[in-house]
Structure 1
Amino acid sequence: MSNPQQETPGAIIAVINASEAVSTRLDSLDFDDSVLVYFKNETEFISKWEKQLFDVSCIISEAEVMAPAGISFATILQQKKFPRVPFFIICDHSNENLAVLALRSGVSDIFTRPFDSEALQTRVLFFKKYGHLLPGKVNELRSEKYKTPTVKRIFDLVFSSLALLCLSPVFLIVYIALKLESKGPAFYYSYRVGTGYNVFKFYKFRSMYVNADKRLKDLQHLNQYNAAAKTTESGTANSPLCADCAKAGTKCQFLIYADNNTWCEKQYISSRKKESGSAFFKLKDDPRITKVGKILRNTSIDELPQLWNVFIGDMSIVGNRPLPLYEAEKLTTDKYALRFLAPAGITGLWQVEKRGKGEMSEEERLMLDNTYAQNHSFTSDIKLILKTIPALFQKENV
């Protein structure tokens, strides 16, 4: 592909994941000879760009910095060797550390809502005309990436491949059982942030019915705290967005995916916490969980698909647990960012320290993650595995 840095008449401005409000504002702006073309998500855009090879002068993505359509999207475009074009993010939340992280990932600028439309227009036109005069500036700012040591990667490949091979009958039985009991996919994935803030698909077995969120609304009357339940029903219960995104009036950035079905991950994790004993919502024998799913959760078999993440290199057997997007975007300060300089893993130091010691504060977990990042080695990984074989496939909310 040719270098698109020079302004090209008739080039398009690709707009990704735009809400109606943002689309209306963009349509009112004048981008000279560039035409706005809208795409539902980053996957659709990449697919069409690869096939049609159209001339892209700029990309505008409406997403949080740590969301899949944020810096991860910018990184994927670079990995796929697409022409480097100005990349702008429109989001709700940003800070100095996120801005630096975005710049190092190839993002040209960030605009937080409510944003100045004319400022965005000026910025886009500037980069279209003069972006080619700034070669290499972004690359110079890119930080050194973590590279998995060869011996650790070999161990991960051997361990995960043997485990997948030996456990293949279990995978088949679980797959058939889930399909026979309820409609829907056997696997699902949500996005996680791992080493170097890289975002990847995190796989698990499905343990709930695909319409679990709707069932939660129908079961509110069984909650012993009816007042709280009524508040929920009158609030955002009928909203397709999670509470944070509903306030901002935008699309949910934190989805779980399974074929054509999606759930809000914040709501999903919240329901998991409620199941484990929250005083505000508790159901005995929660009917949203399938019978097979209950067995999978109690035995942690629902975590086994993460072995595939290890096999393809997204994770290691031992490392710091990869975090949901909305948690990772809060950990960009020097105090916490160190944890992302270590490999993402199925089990790690804090899981070993946790066992038998009751609750562990978030601060303690993060400090242990930092400790692992500073001191990990292949020898220490083997010691951790020997100490915590029962915890190897622990649940995320432990």
Structure 2
Amino acid sequence: MRKRVVCLGSNEQEVQDFTSEFAADVDVQHFDNPTNFLSWLAKGEYFDAILDSASLTSPLGLNLIRTLKKDIGIKEPIFWLTNDSVSSGLQSMLVDAGVTDIFSQKIEKEKLLAQLQLTDTGKTAISATQKNPYAYQNPIGKRTFDILVSATALLCLSPLFLLVALLVKLESKGPAFYYSYRVGTGYRIFRFWKFRSMRQNADKMLTSMKNLNQYQTAIAEEPAQQFTSLCAACTAAGTNCQSPLIDSQGKTICEKQYKVAKQAENGAAFIKIANDPRITKIGMFLRNTSLDELPQLYNVLRGDMSIVGNRPLPLYEAEKITTDHFAARFIAPAGITGLWQVSKRGKGGNMSEEERKELDIEYAKNFSLRKDLQIILKTFPALFQKENV
């Protein structure tokens, strides 16, 4: 009997290529948005497997898989398709969400058909992915601490909340509170609350201002890459290249040079703009004193975040951190304050993107309640430094 496979993703060409290659063995049903797919599913339509090629943070990505497996309770296997290498940490997240196996976009036909054949016997294949040694488990002590601190702070600071909300509304039209979708622990997406510190159309202005991004500027300031046989570091040391690559024409290039050039081509993962013109006067005060962050205590109470952890990222930033060991930053709790904030705050924007990622990974590997208390104590003096983060 022919198998019926659901393909989730926005790339029509990929679906056409798959349909053409598997036409003799598989019927393909394609959906490019979750609403249509869930409506189709609600009609009782049958299928044998799902192939998901969407980005992790898209509406068809990781959250939809969790919904299908843990809320709706579908039994059919879900296969994840990607063009990129997948770190052990990301593998653990995918498996935990309900992914059966991971394929490259160039699907191994025999392997997929073998996986689909197992559905006849009610079995599913077990993925060969490795468990991440740093997989985040929320300790009871840390969660208890978060609940006690956030609940007490929300109660005690309620008069301040009312005052700040009034000042925000008096200066500019719009709501006192603002939320955006952020990506936290395990690539989970949640509403991230702040006091509004920007004009109402701030998000629409961002595209035209990306040239002001401090992280992008740091990339642009790197020496122009000529792809010579030696990078500047090896030349200065008087050694041969320690990490040579061979391009398609057989020419030797330096891996370090290549990585910098590719990063410049793809753009910075983080976005931060000094003297951001979208910020209101009250908003600037709130940011300099970090009062705009207070509503995140509600996120902590809900369990979206912790008091201390790695900063949850906007979707457009998180989508760029999915393939190498930097994905380990998402295997730690998302937090209001964290290691990179207290390590580099007030340094005039001199923190590089790589430094920030490495600090996030360091926290993910070594966090503890004792370390959290140390970071909290360092956070208070950092609040009075000029640089806001």
Question: Which of the five TM-score ranges fits, normalised by the shorter chain?
Answer: 0.5 to 0.7
Moved more, 381-390 or 353-362: 353-362
Shift of 1:153: 0.9
Query: Which residue type is aligned with residue 61 of structure 1?
Result: D
TM-score (norm 1): 0.62
User: Which of the numbers 56, 62, 67 marks the counterpart of 2:53?
Assistant: 62
In the TM superposition, what are the counterparts of 1:224-235 in structure 2 within 5 Å? Answer: none
Instruction: Give the aligned partner of residue 15 of structure 1.
Output: 7
2:327 matches 1:346: no
Query: Which residue type is aligned with residue 87 of structure 1?
Result: I
Instruction: Give the aligned partner of residue 298 of structure 2.
Output: 308
In angstroms, what is the RMSD of aligned CA positions?
4.6
Shift of 1:313: 1.8
Shift of 1:157: 0.7
Is the CA contact (8 Å cut-off) linking 1:193 and 1:322 kept in structure 2? yes
Shift of 1:156: 0.2
Instruction: Give the aligned partner of residue 137 of structure 1.
Output: 126
User: Which of the numbers 19, 33, 38 marks the counterpart of 1:40?
Assistant: 33
Is the CA contact (8 Å cut-off) linking 1:16 and 1:59 kept in structure 2? yes
User: Which of the numbers 178, 181, 184 marks the counterpart of 1:187?
Assistant: 178
| Alignment gaps of 5+ in structure 2 | 213-261
Shift of 1:191: 3.0
Query: Which residue type is aligned with residue 70 of structure 2?
Result: Q
CA distance, structure 1, for counterparts of residue 205 and residue 4 of structure 2: 43
Instruction: Give the aligned partner of residue 326 of structure 1.
Output: 319
Instruction: Give the aligned partner of residue 151 of structure 2.
Output: 161
In the TM superposition, what are the counterparts of 1:178-257 in structure 2 within 5 Å? Answer: 181-182=172-173, 186-194=177-185, 197-205=186-194, 206-212=196-202, 215=205
Per-residue displacement from partner, 1:292-343 (whole Å, max 9, x unpaired)? Answer: 544443443332332232112232111233344134315x33xx56555543
Shift of 1:390: 5.0
Is the CA contact (8 Å cut-off) linking 2:329 and 2:360 kept in structure 1? yes
Is the CA contact (8 Å cut-off) linking 1:104 and 1:139 kept in structure 2? no
Instruction: Give the aligned partner of residue 252 of structure 1.
Output: none
CA distance, structure 2, for counterparts of residue 394 and residue 304 of structure 1: 18
Moved more, 132-141 or 338-347: 132-141
Rg larger for: 2
CA distance, structure 1, for counterparts of residue 286 and residue 352 of structure 2: 27
CA distance, structure 2, for counterparts of residue 289 and residue 313 of structure 1: 29
Per-residue displacement from partner, 1:146-201 (whole Å, max 9, x unpaired)? Answer: 3222221111011112223344455556666667734589423233242xx34232
Instruction: Give the aligned partner of residue 108 of structure 1.
Output: 101
Partner SS for 1:80: helix
Query: Which residue type is aligned with residue 63 of structure 1?
Result: A
Change (3 A) 1:20 1:362: closer
CA distance, structure 1, for counterparts of residue 304 and residue 351 of structure 2: 26
Instruction: Give the aligned partner of residue 127 of structure 1.
Output: 115
Partner SS for 2:75: coil
Shift of 1:378: 2.1
Partner SS for 1:190: strand
Shift of 1:40: 1.2
Instruction: Give the aligned partner of residue 78 of structure 2.
Output: 87
2:378 matches 1:387: yes
Shift of 1:38: 1.8
2:307 matches 1:317: yes
Query: Which residue type is aligned with residue 108 of structure 1?
Result: D
Shift of 1:203: 0.6
Per-residue displacement from partner, 1:37-85 (whole Å, max 9, x unpaired)? Answer: 52513x6645764x54543422233323565644454344333262232
CA distance, structure 1, for counterparts of residue 49 and residue 299 of structure 2: 33
Is the CA contact (8 Å cut-off) linking 2:50 and 2:78 kept in structure 1? yes
